[in-house]
């Protein structure tokens, strides 16, 4: 247990930092004259007290974090910070006469921080603006990862951040030194994230959204989260121009932010277009959008321009794990919604704000499969797996294979658990897949025209677990369950 004291100390500091973020919805609520404004300083005080007590009690534990400490800390943060994030939701909704259970409040907070975008709330248009602001702001915080932001300040606390960065980052970002110091890398990535956020807000505002709607939908577009302040989601605006702006920034956020950082730092903008993962991601998204648009036109669902508008918007939205909707796409030919949900597993890059398997893993799997097929014909052939002209280390390939095995097992087991509760197979499988991919809307009873409030509390906890596993990329959490992880 003493070995965990440095982890708990840093957890206390992160909790205190998170408490400060409640100032934003608090000031907004006070400025708009809402009666719920005292909720936010109260929630901040409770969170600050808990984090401060943890930090103060362990303030002398200043050891450098080891690799397994980073995994433990990341897991604890994603499990415990939603408790703090759910507190203002629970208090505010109770204050306006719409009380929610702890299960629903925690689910909503996890959905926000993991950028999933599932919700159990309805009547969003009638909620206090500060509540919707907090829901969407959680997604913006979770988009690049609260912990990567914390890496930039951990050295000030006497704790190195490299292990934390590696535990939180996805795919090749964790093993690529963009700068000599991981602190500078974290600051650079958040700088790019903030710059894109400002541009997205300005574009939404200029295209016709009110400033508050523009701010909240910027939060959930750049983070690929998809929560909205309206029950009708993006259909509330009914604007092709706003949908085009959203598509552009969703495509932008679906690519590796590390490439943007390198391009800004060194001026190598051509490197973005040459990256095989970026090319594959954009090909999947744009090609998938055109395919669904062609299907909608061929089946007589819409005239050509409307088919292109709705097909491209929904494919990019669902496949990037954002989850905005302007149409009930479950009424489309069955191929379209199933295709979009499956595409959400692969159509974002590692180092982006999206969820799912990540495109780089799929490319490695395809190249490994091609190598095995070649070996059947030429057993003595030496054919390394190449990606972007670089040889992929066998350890990376084995890691990808292990991830896919655990991913498949997770989806199957959680789906079977939901079906044990008499949930129909389509809803069960799609709810798990949408949760693990951090996509949001699924199929069946949890489609775009409904929400997760139709599920029982137990079913909601299963989906909550799926969101957390998806955000932790499964292997990090599973590693903690092995005896070797806890052995000195």
Higher-confidence residue: 151 or 199? Answer: 199
Residue 69 covered by a domain: yes
Q: Which residues contact 28 (CB under 8 A, 6 or more apart)?
A: 129, 130, 133
Render 229-244 in DSSP notation, one character per residue: SSTTGGGGT--HHHHH
The predicted structure's pLDDT at residue 21: 93
Per-residue pLDDT tens for 243-302? 999 999 999 999 988 888 888 887 777 778 888 889 999 999 999 999 999 999 999 999
What pTM was estimated for this model as a whole?
0.90
Per-residue pLDDT tens for 355-374? 888 898 899 889 888 888 88
3-state secondary structure 428-457: HHHHHHHHHCCCCCCCHHHCCCCCHHHCCH
Q: Which residues contact 232 (CB under 8 A, 6 or more apart)?
A: none
The predicted structure's pLDDT at residue 391: 84
The predicted structure's pLDDT at residue 414: 96
Strand partners, 239: none
Over residues 227-256, the mean pLDDT reads: 94
Higher-confidence residue: 156 or 20? Answer: 20
Report the C-alpha gap between 144 and 353 in whole angstroms.
6
Domain that holds residue 95: 2-179
- Does pLDDT of 472 surpass 90? no
Which residue, among 269, 273, 292, 270, has the nearest Cα to 281 in the 3D structure? 273
Q: Which range (66-70, 106-110, 140-144, 323-327) has the least confidence? A: 66-70
**Residue 236: DSSP 8-state:** G
The predicted structure's pLDDT at residue 317: 96
Contact 67, 61 (CB under 8 A): no
- The percent of residues in the chain predicted with pLDDT above 90, rounded, is 58
Name the domain count of the chain: 1
Residue 162 covered by a domain: yes
The predicted structure's pLDDT at residue 316: 96
Question: What's the token pair of residue 3?
Answer: 């070995």
Residue 342 covered by a domain: no
Instruction: Please compute, for residue 193, the number of CA atoms within 13 A of its CA located in the half-sphere on the CB side.
Output: 27
SS3 334: coil
3-state secondary structure 356-371: CCCHHHHHHHHHHHHH
Residue 369 covered by a domain: no
Residue 223 covered by a domain: no
Question: What's the token pair of residue 41?
Answer: 């300083």
Residue 454 covered by a domain: no
C-alpha torsion sign, points 300, 304, 310, 311: positive
- Does pLDDT of 49 surpass 90? yes
The predicted structure's pLDDT at residue 159: 45
Over residues 322-338, the mean pLDDT reads: 94
Question: What's the token pair of residue 314?
Answer: 């929904």
Per-residue pLDDT tens for 144-191? 776 566 555 445 444 444 445 455 555 544 545 555 566 777 788 888
Q: Which residues contact 216 (CB under 8 A, 6 or more apart)?
A: 132, 133, 136, 137, 228, 229
The predicted structure's pLDDT at residue 372: 86
Report the C-alpha gap between 175 and 166 in whole angstroms.
7
Q: Which range (195-209, 302-316, 347-361, 413-427) has the least confidence? A: 347-361
Confidence of residue 326 (pLDDT cuts 50, 70, 90): very high
Reported residue count of the chain is 488
The predicted structure's pLDDT at residue 432: 96
Confidence of residue 138 (pLDDT cuts 50, 70, 90): very high
- Does pLDDT of 448 surpass 50? yes
The predicted structure's pLDDT at residue 108: 95
The predicted structure's pLDDT at residue 119: 93
Confidence of residue 454 (pLDDT cuts 50, 70, 90): very high
Which residue, among 326, 100, 128, has the nearest Cα to 216 in the 3D structure? 128
Residue 136 covered by a domain: yes
The predicted structure's pLDDT at residue 67: 67
Over residues 68-94, the mean pLDDT reads: 88
Residue 59 covered by a domain: yes
Average pLDDT over all residues of the chain: 87
The predicted structure's pLDDT at residue 157: 43
Instruction: Map tokens 């302007």 to a residue.
Output: 326
The predicted structure's pLDDT at residue 387: 81
Question: What's the token pair of residue 113?
Answer: 């921080």
């Amino acid at each position: 247990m003493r070995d965990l004291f440095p982890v708990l100390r840093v957890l206390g500091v992160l909790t205190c930092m998170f408490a400060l973020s409640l100032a934003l919805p608090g000031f907004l609520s006070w400025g708009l004259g809402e009666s719920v404004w005292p909720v936010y300083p109260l929630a901040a005080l409770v969170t600050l007290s808990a984090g401060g007590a943890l930090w103060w009690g362990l303030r002398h534990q200043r050891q450098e974090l080891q690799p397994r400490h980073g995994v433990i800390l990341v897991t604890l943060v994603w499990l415990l910070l939603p408790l703090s994030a759910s507190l203002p939701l629970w208090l505010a909704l109770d204050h306006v006469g719409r009380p929610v259970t702890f299960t629903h409040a925690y689910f909503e907070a996890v959905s926000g921080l993991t950028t999933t975008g599932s919700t159990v709330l309805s009547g969003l248009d009638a909620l206090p603006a500060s509540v919707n602001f907090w829901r969407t702001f959680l997604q913006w915080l979770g988009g690049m990862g609260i912990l990567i932001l914390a890496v930039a300040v951990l050295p000030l606390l006497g704790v190195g951040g490299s292990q934390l960065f590696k535990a939180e980052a996805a795919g090749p970002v964790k093993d690529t030194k963009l700068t000599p110091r991981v602190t500078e890398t974290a600051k650079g990535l958040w700088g790019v994230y903030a710059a894109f956020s400002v541009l997205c807000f300005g574009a939404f505002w200029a295209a016709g959204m009110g400033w508050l709607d523009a701010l909240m939908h910027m939060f959930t577009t750049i983070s690929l989260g998809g929560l909205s302040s309206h029950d009708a989601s993006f259909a509330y605006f009914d604007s092709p121009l706003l949908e085009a702006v959203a598509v552009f920034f969703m495509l932008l956020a679906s690519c590796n932010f590390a490439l943007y950082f390198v391009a800004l730092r060194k001026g190598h903008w051509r490197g973005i277009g040459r990256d095989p993962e970026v090319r594959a991601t954009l090909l999947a998204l744009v090609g998938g959008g055109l395919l669904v648009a062609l299907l909608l036109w061929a089946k007589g669902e819409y005239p050509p321009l409307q088919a292109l508008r709705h097909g491209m918007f929904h494919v990019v939205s669902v496949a990037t794990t954002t989850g905005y909707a302007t149409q009930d796409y479950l009424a489309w030919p069955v191929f379209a919604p199933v295709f979009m949900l499956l595409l959400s597993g692969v159509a974002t890059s590692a180092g982006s704000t999206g969820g799912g398997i990540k495109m780089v893993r799929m490319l490695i799997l395809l190249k490994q499969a091609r190598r095995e097929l070649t070996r059947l014909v030429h057993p003595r052939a030496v054919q390394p797996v190449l990606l972007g002209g670089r040889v992929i280390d066998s350890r990376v390939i084995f890691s990808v294979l292990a991830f896919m095995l655990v991913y498949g097992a997770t989806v199957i087991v959680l789906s079977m658990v939901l079906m044990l509760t008499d949930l129909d197979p389509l809803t069960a499988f799609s709810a798990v897949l949408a949760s693990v991919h951090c996509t949001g809307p699924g199929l069946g009873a949890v489609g775009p025209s409904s929400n997760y409030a139709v599920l029982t509390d137990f079913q909601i906890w299963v989906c909550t677990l799926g969101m957390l596993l998806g955000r932790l990329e499964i292997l990090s959490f599973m590693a903690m369950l092995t005896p070797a992880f806890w052995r000195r």
